[in-house]
Amino acid sequence: MYQTAMHLHVAAVVISLALFSFRFALTLKGSGILQKRWLKITPHVIDTILLSTAIWLLTLSSMVEVDGWVASKVIGVILYIVSGFFALKWATTDRARIIGFACALIWIMLTATVAFTKQPFSFLV
């Protein structure tokens, strides 16, 4: 059961990042494809699967195993989301969008490191 949840979670992470990168490229290009209904709905569906599988994994894990590093993952995901919103919605110049995109990628890489090592961000402890 744990392996199924883990595989679904990792697949959702990969799909979410791919969609984010695709939407970012379309934003830089100023493409009208961003207005397509499927491109507005699909990221929310994938992110819901991502969150659901994360909760599923937590329920399958002993709380002793997940106490400290989970907070770092949550913080990392929140900062990834904020950076992503900046890159896709709030930034007004391409340079600012690229900086937001780079920050989002850095936060997701740091969060993935926490997930693999099961160690909290070192600057939080």
Q: Where do the domains of the chain lie?
A: 1-61, 64-125
Please state at what angle helix 2-29 crosses helix 94-117, rounded to 10 degrees.
170
Identify the pLDDT of residue 123.
62
Which residues of the chain fall short of a pLDDT of 50?
64
pTM assigned to the model: 0.85
CB contact at 8 A, 105 and 112: no
Write down the pLDDT at residue 69: 81
pLDDT of residue 10: 93
pLDDT in the model for residue 58 = 82
